[in-house]
Structure 1
Amino acid sequence: MITIPQFTSFKTLALSAIVVLSSCNETKKTKEEMTTKAEKDTSNVLLAEWTGPYGGVPAFDQMNISDIKPAIEKGMELRLKEIDAIANATEAPTFENTIEAMEKSGKELDRVFTYYRILSANMSSPEFREIQKEMAPKLSEFRSKISQNEKLFQRIKTVYDNAIKTPLEADQQRVVELIYNQFAMDGAELDKEKKKRYAAINKELSELYTSFSNNVLADEEGYVTYLTKEQLNGLSEPLIKAYAKAASDRGQEGKYAITNTRSSMDPFLTYSTERELRKKVWENYYSRGDNGDDKDNNKNIAKILQLRKERVGLLGFDNYADWRLQDRMAKKPENAMKLMEAVWPAAIARVQEEVADMQAVADANGDKITIEPWDYRFYAEKVRKKKYDLDSDEVKQYLQLDKLREAMFFVAGELFNYKFTPVKEGKVAVFQEDVKVWEVNDKTSGEHIGLWYLDPFSRTGKRSGAWATTYRSHTTFEGKKTVLASNNSNFVKPAPGEPVLVSWDDATTFFHEFGHALHFFASEVKYPTLNGGVRDYTEFQSQLLERWLSTDPVIKNYLVHYKTGEPMPQALVDKIKKAATFNQGFATTEYLASALMDMKLHLADPTNLDVDTFEKETLAALKMPKELVMRHRTPHFGHVFSGEGYATAYYGYMWADVLTSDASEAFAEAPGGFYDKDVAQKLVKYLFAPRNAIDPAEAYKQFRGRDAKIEALMRDRGFPVQ
């Protein structure tokens, strides 16, 4: 559920390192050859302006790993020349010659990083990771050269000060404020010695983020559980076929592979009757980055925390959380903690109830076990059947990936007036044969909005999880630019001719990530900086879209049996809705434990911190139920330690979910329900189209007429409302 932000040089001055985990067709060259190429070649395909249909598209079919390093180096060189020209201009600083000039700069490097992100997240290889390690510190130094350019900052500050006295147009004012504040947060006002140390810390952090990410990926690739036919008890036929293909793809014909990813692990833990194997698969997954070997991340984390605290100390902050949250909706860590601590007691109390129900089922079955974490999903499924007569495997038979995609297109048509049309194969280059592309148009006017790329399946070298990203964002200040957006998932690829059947949770995630894509497509901003987002707000739009999965038009028209084509029977629909709050103790607790751990780690003194011990002691103090673990244990918590996008901000999913629950009630109360045209129009106008052009809190008030209320969240999860 991660959104990978577009790398826009200094249009988004994020400190987070770019997660690099991938590769393409490699042509090995020596470092000397690459350096020479970087000095001489300005026609590198990765730097080149995009050509072809739809306003130009990335040349994914021409990516070559040998072009990456020289393209980055050339892109940085060109970008710094543009920055120097802006900083050393003789004319008095204005919005046009300073801020707008910055918004126009860095196009070559932007294009390079479109490819870089694909090579990092979707198609990894050891060769590429070596380039990543080499380039990470260089990229950090590059960013510091911009953020610490005193002449540039003085021009930005002059424009900012003048705008306070004589306000600009609203969107221009917002751009100036965002850029000025980011420079200030990144140490632009520090003295020379402190700037030097600040830059050195960033350089070291970039190397640590790279190491952390690659260690997690190595453990995901390195731990595969192979089964024989005798060990498949409890698994469905489609799942068995998918596991067989996963083994075959790894050269293990006749076996069945459980890969070390959530999409492969989760259904195995839910359905397999082989308890010892469940334990093994569970341990593989939750010990990623924590195996005491050369891929162990605990020392990396300790050092990251120390460096983050030292860096914000240079700016006068007591801790990283205070610095990070100043430009978020929560503003202060205590506000985020207040929300989490309000929900936590109800969540763990519900876990106790769920465990008691599961233990009763196990006892009645004569299993003679005590519920352990590798049992939770298995016995929760049995409780679901007993309490609600609801079989998740039966539900999956109505959740075909292709039909879910059609359902998302239907919802986008109803709410946003979008039409999705498949792009003929070969018209637009893709980086892997499984990737498909659709054109997005306005249904009424036919106006071209953009392209949607879908990369649905898990494979070796692809980072785990699900995410959305953009290859090109909407802007208008240099002529209208249409959107190139993508969704990326890790569904287990089926055997040839078989449908992709997914769980209700996976279907929800599919809708969630599509919500990010719709947020990209709906943008009406003029300047690139305004396509950025506030971290505890950007998940709101995607979480809200999840709600349409369970609406009647989607259920009746798109959730059809994969064999018969018959729609989901009303009796099953009723069971699903009745069980809507089932297992919320597990879902809320595993998420909140990670969010609380994130915040507490950054509020703690990192001196001589033993990460494993801190994790155990913190969970004990929280009275974490022993029957489950954090959704992301600290040693593989990539949201927080592979970069800085979600550091002290993982709480943002819950902050956004308060908005989601409250906004959902606005639809539920409307005459047309979730398809009410008036509420949908306000949704697009105030909550999707503005992106970061206005303050998120103000945007939500314009939509709802008031602030969001936590009571809606508690009702949604079936928790007591105080």
Structure 2
Amino acid sequence: MNNNLLVEKFNTPYESIPFENIKQEEFRPAIEQAIDDARKEIDEIVQNTDPPNFVNTIVALENVGKKLTVISSTFFNLNSAETSDYLQSLAEEISPMLTEYANDIILNEQLFDKIKIVYETTLKSKLSQEEVRLLDKTYKDFSKNGALLSPEDKNNLRQISNELAVLSVKFGQNVLKETNDYYLHISENKDMEGIPESIKEMARKEAENRNLKGWVFTLHYPSYVPFITYTTNRELRKEIYTAYMQRACKDNEYNNEEIIHKIVELRSKKAKLLGFNTYADLILQERMASSPKLVYDFLYDLLHQAKPFAQKEIENLKNIASRDGILELMPFDHAYYVEKLRQEKFSFSEEELKPYFPLNQVLNAAFDVAKKLYGLTFKERKDIQKYHSEVKVYEVVNDKGKHQALLYTDFFPRAGKRAGAWMTSYKGQFKTLSDNIRPHISIVCNFSRPNGDMPSLLTFSEVTTLFHEFGHALHGILANTTFESLSGTNVYWDFVELPSQFMENYVFEKEFLKTFALHYQKGEMLDEEKIDKIVASANFMQGYQTLRQIGLGLLDMAYHTDELNSEEGIEDFEVKMIKETQLYPHIKNTCISTSFSHIFQGGYAAGYYSYKWAEVLDADAFDFFKERGIFDKETANKFESLLSKGGTEDPMELYISFRGRRPQSDALLKRAGLLDTNS
């Protein structure tokens, strides 16, 4: 164990993860050692004979297992971004170990007795606001997670938690396997009609990598999305769409339906064991939307506002499709005719814009926003180790010239990387008596990789994705709290999307767009008329997009409010639960749920609604900036204060401190074009 690099202090710049020196087989023994060390730290708190107080109990507990946090974060981040069969197998072993360790803390009666004494006897007026928040959070974390249960129920809770940990890992592995296994091989030129040259070249290279002639398209986003958007071959659109929608719901060993049933059942059992009606009730007790009723009311109110607009949008698509002799528009036609409508309405296509949005240029534009708003600069560091050659590492420096954070960027799809885009951290921010430990943040996406002399070129929707994830990153980078568990993105789940969605607004600002929408070869600015069209297209198809998000939010809530019958098929259940939001006929044997990783693998269970909830906040917040100037320093300082405080204050209070009032939903409806101006 002495030779295991993971358990030692990292002798690297800013104690960054020494990725290139880590051996995969070191993870399990390192985590076992770190768990043992953390258990000893817990024992020290329990066995301390001094009267329990805030420092020797609450702060001491906050500082338990710092090394374990770093090692486990490193492991699970690698398992998402650069996995292998070995790491996936290890994840199934390590997840229950960590769950058992967490349960041993939460269900430790002597520890909870001390926490309870501190909670009931501490004069809160003697604590800072952040300390009060930590005390309340610690007590509630224990009480809501089983500390008050009988010994028998505690054992039941342990079994449930362990099983859920394994099932969640297995769910994600099945989705990744199904995504990687499918490919569409095209050998005839006629079947490539409509596909832009740059996409053809990418597909040709994919075929070459597989020792095939012709072109290959996969279910990874940079391949799947352009194909279904541009191919004129309707049968092939149907084939690849169906393959995408059948991930982990086919009759094979990777089917996730039984796993979903088990996860939903176990989550429900856990909630009832802890005294809640449903799992949603358990989760929502610490959300801005504090009950299932509030979430349902919010989603249905939005549904009724958005649906008429969405129906009009689909009618417009049907009109265009009818010119091609299509009498019934299907889901696999949607992207293709949306792109046709975009071109008719705004005279530009996503593909046409790509040369103006090379990845590095867009990333530098995001860095420019951070510089103007918060005084941050980003300098690439070649001397910091990374887990893949395509990853880049930036040191973030504040306006006083001091080290602020490390930012890792990982932008291209690989077989070992799960789909989608996300922000995460390897090390969190917190303060010691002598130091402010700065965070190590990562953003991971799946954009088209460079091809020969051509750099990675982004669609405009990918530009917004990058800004979205960078907004999450800034939440972590600007963190400035004493306690790690309240730092950065450790906020209420329906508040966490505010910083990310706020950043998306900048890409629709004309003057800002002019600064970075430059042709990667010619250096020319995108035609001003097209920039105007992009700005005008900000709410294009927003009715449909809103309904789609509401449908996913309702589906998530249905699973977690005990709507699923144990005998019910997942596909049938899904169709029933999202019926009001669906504008296309359902295709038999397809399913969203079996690859709905946000709620069955990630942390969005009973929380998917938060994307729309946070849109109300971000639209209202950006309205404030637009009133004062989108780079107004005084307003930016207020927003930076909101970001830097993490979870140290109630999110609504943080928002009111920034805005001067509660958020108003009209800002969202206006921005999305969902206000009926005729009424």
Which of 414, 417, 435 is residue 372 of structure 2 equivalent to? 414
Map of 1:203 onto structure 2: 162
- Give yes or no for contact 2:107–2:146 (8 Å, CA) kept in 1: yes
Which of 300, 325, 348 is residue 390 of structure 1 equivalent to? 348
Determine the C-alpha separation between the residues in 2 that align with 1:166 and 1:720. 46
Instruction: Give deviations 1:540-597, integer Å, cap 9, x for gaps.
Output: 1111011111223431121111231101111001111222211112211222111110
TM-superposed CA distance for 1:261, in Å, is 2.4
- Give yes or no for contact 2:448–2:458 (8 Å, CA) kept in 1: no
Show the 5 A alignment for 1:153-552: 153-163=112-122, 166-228=125-187, 230=189, 231-249=191-209, 251-364=210-323, 366-423=324-381, 425=382, 427-443=383-399, 445-478=400-433, 479-531=435-487, 532-552=490-510
- Give yes or no for contact 1:243–1:256 (8 Å, CA) kept in 2: yes
- Unpaired runs of at least 5, structure 1: 1-40
Q: Which moved more, 1:347-356 or 1:571-580?
A: 347-356
- Give yes or no for contact 2:393–2:409 (8 Å, CA) kept in 1: yes
> Are residues 1:113 and 2:72 paired?
yes
Determine the C-alpha separation between the residues in 2 that align with 1:707 and 1:646. 25
TM-superposed CA distance for 1:369, in Å, is 4.3
Q: Which moved more, 1:650-659 or 1:548-557?
A: 548-557
Determine the C-alpha separation between the residues in 2 that align with 1:665 and 1:632. 38
> Are residues 1:663 and 2:621 paired?
yes
TM-superposed CA distance for 1:151, in Å, is 0.8
TM-superposed CA distance for 1:627, in Å, is 5.5
Determine the C-alpha separation between the residues in 1 that align with 2:454 and 2:355. 12
Map of 1:122 onto structure 2: 81
Map of 2:654 onto structure 1: 699
Question: What is the identity, as a one-letter code, of the residue corresponding to 1:240?
Answer: K
Determine the C-alpha separation between the residues in 1 that align with 2:366 and 2:530. 21
- Give yes or no for contact 1:242–1:494 (8 Å, CA) kept in 2: no
Question: What is the identity, as a one-letter code, of the residue corresponding to 1:234?
Answer: G
> Are residues 1:559 and 2:559 paired?
no
TM-superposed CA distance for 1:228, in Å, is 2.6
Question: What is the identity, as a one-letter code, of the residue corresponding to 1:537?
Answer: F
Which of 545, 550, 556 is residue 598 of structure 1 equivalent to? 556
Determine the C-alpha separation between the residues in 1 that align with 2:397 and 2:280. 42
- Give yes or no for contact 2:221–2:447 (8 Å, CA) kept in 1: no
- Give yes or no for contact 1:523–1:689 (8 Å, CA) kept in 2: yes
- Give yes or no for contact 1:261–1:285 (8 Å, CA) kept in 2: no
Determine the C-alpha separation between the residues in 1 that align with 2:450 and 2:236. 22
Map of 2:4 onto structure 1: 44
Question: What is the identity, as a one-letter code, of the residue corresponding to 1:47?
Answer: V
TM-superposed CA distance for 1:166, in Å, is 4.9
Q: Which moved more, 1:691-700 or 1:344-353?
A: 344-353
Question: What is the identity, as a one-letter code, of the residue corresponding to 1:324?
Answer: I
CA RMSD of aligned residues (A): 1.8
State the SS of the aligned residue for 1:674: coil
Instruction: Give deviations 1:17-69, integer Å, cap 9, x for gaps.
Output: xxxxxxxxxxxxxxxxxxxxxxxx1441122212222x211100012221111
Determine the C-alpha separation between the residues in 2 that align with 1:408 and 1:229. 41
Map of 1:150 onto structure 2: 109
Instruction: Give deviations 1:612-645, integer Å, cap 9, x for gaps.
Output: 221112223x25212689x9811111111115x2
Question: What is the identity, as a one-letter code, of the residue corresponding to 1:325?
Answer: L
State the SS of the aligned residue for 1:457: coil
Map of 2:571 onto structure 1: 612
Q: Which moved more, 1:508-517 or 1:164-173?
A: 164-173
Map of 1:35 onto structure 2: none
TM-superposed CA distance for 1:494, in Å, is 2.7
TM-superposed CA distance for 1:134, in Å, is 2.2
- Give yes or no for contact 1:238–1:494 (8 Å, CA) kept in 2: no
Instruction: Give deviations 1:672-702, integer Å, cap 9, x for gaps.
Output: x2111111111111x2110111110100011
Determine the C-alpha separation between the residues in 2 that align with 1:152 and 1:43. 33
TM-superposed CA distance for 1:244, in Å, is 2.6
Determine the C-alpha separation between the residues in 2 that align with 1:568 and 1:628. 40
Determine the C-alpha separation between the residues in 1 that align with 2:438 and 2:134. 20
Map of 1:709 onto structure 2: 664
Instruction: Give deviations 1:228-259, integer Å, cap 9, x for gaps.
Output: 3513221222222222333334x234333222
Map of 1:569 onto structure 2: 527
TM-superposed CA distance for 1:165, in Å, is 5.7
Question: What is the identity, as a one-letter code, of the residue corresponding to 2:164?
Answer: L
Q: For this pair of structures, how many residues does the alignment match?
A: 670
Question: What is the identity, as a one-letter code, of the residue corresponding to 1:68?
Answer: F
Determine the C-alpha separation between the residues in 1 that align with 2:70 and 2:617. 34
Question: What is the identity, as a one-letter code, of the residue corresponding to 2:411?
Answer: P
Determine the C-alpha separation between the residues in 2 that align with 1:510 and 1:166. 43
- Give yes or no for contact 2:124–2:132 (8 Å, CA) kept in 1: no
TM-superposed CA distance for 1:167, in Å, is 4.2
Question: What is the identity, as a one-letter code, of the residue corresponding to 2:664?
Answer: K
Greater than 4 Å deviation, 4+ residue runs:
164-167
Q: 1:143 and 1:586, CA in 2 relative to 1: closer, same or farther beyond 3 A?
A: same
TM-superposed CA distance for 1:302, in Å, is 0.9
Map of 1:70 onto structure 2: 29
- Give yes or no for contact 1:42–1:74 (8 Å, CA) kept in 2: no
> Are residues 1:719 and 2:678 paired?
no
Map of 1:4 onto structure 2: none
Q: Which moved more, 1:164-173 or 1:399-408?
A: 164-173
Determine the C-alpha separation between the residues in 1 that align with 2:270 and 2:453. 54
Q: 1:496 and 1:623, CA in 2 relative to 1: closer, same or farther beyond 3 A?
A: closer
Map of 1:25 onto structure 2: none
Determine the C-alpha separation between the residues in 2 that align with 1:386 and 1:264. 24
TM-superposed CA distance for 1:290, in Å, is 0.9
Determine the C-alpha separation between the residues in 2 that align with 1:208 and 1:59. 30
Map of 1:137 onto structure 2: 96
- Unpaired runs of at least 5, structure 2: none
- Give yes or no for contact 1:241–1:494 (8 Å, CA) kept in 2: no
- How high is the TM-score relative to the length of structure 1? 0.90
State the SS of the aligned residue for 1:538: coil
Determine the C-alpha separation between the residues in 2 that align with 1:518 and 1:165. 31
- Give yes or no for contact 2:558–2:564 (8 Å, CA) kept in 1: no
